[in-house]
Amino acid sequence: MDSIFLLSNSHSHLCLSVKASASASAPLPPPEPPNSSDLRRPKSLKPTTSSINKIPSKNPLKNLLKTTTVPSPPPNNQSLSLFTKLRLSSKLSPPPPPPLLQEEDNETPNSETSCCSKDIEFRQEGKIFVGNLPNWIKKHEVGEFFRQFGPIQNVILIKGHNSTEKNVGFGFVIYDGSTAEKSAMKAVEFDGVEFHGRVLTVKLDDGKRLKSKTRERARWVEGVDEEQFRSKWHQDRERDRRDFKKVVETQPENWQAVVTSFDRIKKPSRREFGLMVNYYARRGDMHRARQTFENMRARGIEPTSHVYTNLIHAYAVGRDMEEALSCVRKMKEEGIKMSLVTYSIIVGGFAKICNAEAADHWFEEAKETHGTLNAIIYGNIIYAHCQTSNMDRAEALVREMEEEGIDAPIDIYHTMMDGYTMFGNEEKCLIVFERLKECGFTPSVISYGCLINLYTKIGKVSKALEVSRRMESAGIKHNMKTYSMLINGFIKLKDWANAFAVFEDVVKDGLKPDVVLYNNIIRAFCGMGNMDRAIHIVKEMQKERHRPTTRTFMPIIHGFARAGEMKRSLEIFDMMRMGGCIPTVHTFNALILGLVEKRQMEKAVEILDEMSLAGISPNEHTYTTIMHGYASLGDIGKAFEYFATLRNEGLELDVYTYEALLKACCKSGRMQSALAVTKEMSAQKIPRNNFVYNILIDGWARRGDVWEAADLMQQMKQEGVQPDIHTYTSFINACCKAGDMQLLQFILIRINAFFFFFFFFQRATKTIKEMGVIGVKPNVKTYTTLIHGWARASLPEKALRCFEEMKRAGLKPDKAVYHCLMTSLLSRAAVAEAYIYSGALSICTEMIESGLAVDMGTAVHWSRCLRKIERTGGELTEALQKTFPPDWNAYHSLDAKADTDRDDEPDINSDDDLYISGGTGDDGDFKHRLLY
């Protein structure tokens, strides 16, 4: 009886046959198995001739550590015939023949032998692997180098996934012909050769790449554990998709990380493209959003309503509603239905550009299409009307929303409060705030911020501080916006100390100042004239890694230009450029505005040439500033010249441009030209505001024409323009000057002249009372104008009474008030009652306590008046001389030259007092518009 065993190792197979003894009754014991881990018993016991005759050419046992069984020679025909006769023994203990060796090999594909056979099968003759290639290398260059070893069939360079124009650094060369294998062996010998600065890796192709692809394809077809098989490519893609979504949600401010994670995704789907378009939309980057959208369509992915909505959102945030509407038309052409979110975004986009009419149109279309609306679209349409100051329509929409059963969220309350803040309507803003609390909402920092913004805009900073304390007591901390509002409020009041105190509170609270807050502090330092400290703040910003903007440098440039230090102003201009800030037209406007305020018009015009060299075209603000400069000088010709230039270049003509023309006309006394300008404004449908009326009333006041000034006051009331303090001051000045002119006309009829004075000053006093009725409080300039009028009328007792009333109103007299009043009292003290003398003495004492000193011309004039009052000197002379300039004693005679004998009364109707300070103000809309 033969026993057959199968021994296998990593190189070959061995078939052993053991011959049984002749005695059938004593079967041969089974041989001892070899002590090796590579031995394996076959599953099938049926012998086959092919497996028995299969003998390896080499010794298969040379790698076995311990073998005790001696292999027998292969069985011959005799043993086979004997084996067939042993029927009973073969039935009782059948030998385990290895007939199915080939089948076993097929059933164990993971064995080394099967792998070896398949490696040979996958490997392609004549194919070599070439690694460490330069990324820029081309096929023909690789082919020319390796053609020296034999003819080449093909060169394969593996391209990068992200950039298909570059290689990933490796490839394959396939040789052709009968000598392909020999050529490949020669090429392998050049492993490590230098090629274009790279040390190449050259080796025979092992078929690993093709083998892995085949196995991957097989796994894909068969599946694993009856589940859908996902290849490594799909697993990596799914991981990259998850990472991209995570980065978008957790790091939206890190633009580079978001873009990198998106580019890492292999074949992004519609979902990833939609997320990327939405990400660009939130940033307002409509160009990249459009590019991503087009890349999606180029890959054959059709957009849905959601993707189109994201793209429309990008254009809405970028305020390009024309392109947004073009996307809407494309949606309708493709038959994609607009959702309520799409309508809401369009309405919100038109709200941002203050186009309430278009917002209403799309709001009504959304109502017709969807029927039922939500609070979001209502909030957008309400915001649109609040931005256009149509609060009646906003209130109606709130009522309509509530009637529809839609509860208003807290954002709508904030929108209404912000709308009333723009109007300065304190009462209704407080009503909305109280209603917010009644409806169960807890006021947030935004709620209190709306109130702080309201009070800082209307100049009630003390109430803004009170709201701030209430907010802190409620456990709500300030943020950067509320602190910035408070600082802005103090800057408008020129209260620099409190502005810096708020800045210190920011640091104490542990908040890091942002660029906006730093810009406000720089404005404060520039406003108080501390330019060096402002520059120090800029350097501190750079240390904190905050990049200064053009708004950072403009107050400094403007401050130096206004002070006449053009050299330092240009140094800051160069510092801005070195910091990476590109000069804009607004930067040049700051330079021009500073020069205009110093009346240096020649240097201001030179800036226009520098703008041309920099490739920056002047805008309407630039020309308007220069027109205002020439208007302040009364040069009407130059003002109209630049007006013509502005019109010829097709720039926008607004109310500020016509204000400059009117200012030039009134300054030069050409009131008929001013009337012509007002007619052109009406033709251009540009309404006249209180600034325009102030200029016209001041112009007629210069001529003493109180009747024209009174007509303008009536027109203001008819057109619904509210007169302000500057309007009333100009009208009072017209009344005073009209009295003075009438005195010259009726010099021979003194009694009639006196009653004429009394009539006009009664009208001026009536105007003061009218101001109190409408809530407009007189300021120092108003009282100065009235005192000046009484002084010209030679009624010092009236002037003194007006002075006392000003102090009772809580106003602090300035140098101009003391000048007018003292001149009036000294001129009449010699012939008036005793209380005029005592009044002059008390005013002189106030001047000494305030540290006021007059100029030499005023001192000479007052000394002459004193000689008439106290010929030998006296108490008044001794006190008044303390206000004279320090070099007064250098004069040996009180009779100065004729050029110093002048009435040096201040021109309270000058441009700086009434127009720049009154019409627009140091921080008025005009200057703010020019700078920003």
Contact 413, 436 (CB under 8 A): yes
SS3 at position 852: coil
Separation of alpha carbons 820 and 807, rounded Å: 15
Q: Which H helix or E strand runs over 131?
A: strand 127-131
The residues pairing with 204 across neighbouring beta strands, listed in sequence order, are: 128
SS3 at position 71: coil
Provide long-range contacts, Cβ within 8 A and 24+ apart, for 29-32. 30/3, 31/3, 31/5, 31/69, 32/68, 32/69
The closest of 315, 375, 373 to 339, measured between CA atoms, is 373
Asked, for residue 798, whether it belongs to a domain, the answer is yes
Number of H helices, E strands in the chain: 45, 8
Domain endpoint, select from 191, 206, 221 = 206
Residues 799 and 866 in one domain: yes
Residues 883 and 798 in one domain: yes
Residue 808, domain extent:
794-892
Separation of alpha carbons 173 and 156, rounded Å: 6
Residue 19 half-sphere exposure toward CB, CA atoms < 13 A: 13
Contact 244, 262 (CB under 8 A): yes
The list of the chain residues with pLDDT below 70 reads: 1-121, 161-164, 216, 219-230, 734, 736-776, 791-794, 827-836, 871-873, 887-932
**DSSP output for 10-51:** SS-EEEEEEPPPS-SSSPPPPPPPPB-TTB---S-----HHH
Asked, for residue 248, whether it belongs to a domain, the answer is yes
Residues 798 and 859 in one domain: yes
Asked, for residue 394, whether it belongs to a domain, the answer is no
Domain endpoint, select from 248, 263, 278 = 263
Residues 798 and 880 in one domain: yes
What is the separation of C-alpha 738 from the centre of its chain, rounded to a whole number of angstroms?
Answer: 55
**DSSP output for 656-702:** HHHHHHHHHHHHTT-HHHHHHHHHHHHHTT----HHHHHHHHHHHHH
User: What pLDDT, on a 0 to 100 scale, did the predictor assign at position 384?
Assistant: 92
Residues 170 and 244 in one domain: no
Asked, for residue 270, whether it belongs to a domain, the answer is no
Separation of alpha carbons 90 and 95, rounded Å: 7
Sign, CA dihedral 513-515-521-525, equals positive
The closest of 497, 487, 489, 492 to 521, measured between CA atoms, is 487
Backbone angles phi, psi at 3, to 5 degrees: -115, 130
Domain count, the chain: 3
The residues pairing with 175 across neighbouring beta strands, listed in sequence order, are: 152
The closest of 727, 666, 650, 654 to 699, measured between CA atoms, is 666
The closest of 632, 604, 608 to 618, measured between CA atoms, is 608
Residues 800 and 875 in one domain: yes
Alpha helices by DSSP H, 223-285: 232-250, 255-263, 270-283
Residues 800 and 888 in one domain: yes
Separation of alpha carbons 551 and 590, rounded Å: 10
Separation of alpha carbons 924 and 597, rounded Å: 14
Instruction: Name the DSSP class of 75.
Output: P
Separation of alpha carbons 894 and 401, rounded Å: 81
Question: Where does residue 293 rank: exposed (0-12), middle (13-18), buried (19+ CB within 10 A)?
Answer: buried
pTM more than 0.85: no
Contact 877, 859 (CB under 8 A): no
Contact 331, 308 (CB under 8 A): yes
User: What pLDDT, on a 0 to 100 scale, did the predictor assign at position 175?
Assistant: 92
Residues 808 and 885 in one domain: yes
What is the separation of C-alpha 608 from the centre of its chain, rounded to a whole number of angstroms?
Answer: 29
Separation of alpha carbons 125 and 558, rounded Å: 80
User: What pLDDT, on a 0 to 100 scale, did the predictor assign at position 688?
Assistant: 79
Residues 798 and 887 in one domain: yes
Residues 888 and 809 in one domain: yes
Asked, for residue 190, whether it belongs to a domain, the answer is yes
CB atoms < 10 A from the CB of 287, how many?
11
Contact 468, 452 (CB under 8 A): yes
Separation of alpha carbons 728 and 56, rounded Å: 123
Separation of alpha carbons 522 and 528, rounded Å: 10
Contact 654, 622 (CB under 8 A): no
Separation of alpha carbons 69 and 16, rounded Å: 10
Separation of alpha carbons 558 and 529, rounded Å: 11
Q: Which H helix or E strand runs over 5?
A: strand 3-8
Residue bearing tokens 């494309």: 330
List CB contacts of 504: < 8 A, sequence separation 6 or more.
none
Asked, for residue 147, whether it belongs to a domain, the answer is yes
Q: How far is CA 512 from CA 338, 472, 506, 538, 550, in A?
A: 43, 19, 8, 15, 21
Residues 145 and 185 in one domain: yes
Asked, for residue 439, whether it belongs to a domain, the answer is no
Classify residue 194 as left (phi > 0), alpha (psi -120 to 50) or beta.
beta
User: What pLDDT, on a 0 to 100 scale, did the predictor assign at position 277?
Assistant: 93
- Residue 753 tokens read as 């002249």
Residues 817 and 884 in one domain: yes
Separation of alpha carbons 593 and 931, rounded Å: 8
User: What pLDDT, on a 0 to 100 scale, did the predictor assign at position 47?
Assistant: 44
Asked, for residue 579, whether it belongs to a domain, the answer is no
